[in-house]
Amino acid sequence: MTAPAIPNASDAPRWLQTLQYTFNPLESMDQAAVRCGDLFNAPVIGKHAQVLFVSHPEAIQKFFPATPKN
């Protein structure tokens, strides 16, 4: 099974995306969710780090589909 591709939040340069998420995080996330759907990557911390955002709670099931074992 192949993992689904996760789109980047924006094609803007990394430094600009970081500024957008720093100064206007909610609007930035809303815009990315409209463009990309429930799951998207964004470079909001560090030089090389990517953060996975989940804009809808049920979307996390794509990554954790099984029930936890006790």
The span from the CA of 24 to the CA of 63, in Å, is: 27
Burial (CB < 10 A; 0-12, 13-18, 19+), residue 25, is exposed
The per-residue pLDDT for range 35-58, each reduced to its tens digit, is 888 888 887 776 667 777 888 777
The per-residue pLDDT for range 27-40, each reduced to its tens digit, is 988 888 888 888 88
Q: Is 68 left (phi over 0), alpha (psi -120 to 50) or beta?
A: beta
Cα dihedral: 15, 26, 9, 57 (round 10): 140
Residue of higher predicted confidence among 59 and 22: 22
The span from the CA of 15 to the CA of 66, in Å, is: 37
Q: How confident is the model at residue 23 (pLDDT cuts 50, 70, 90)?
A: very high
Q: What is the pTM of this model?
A: 0.66
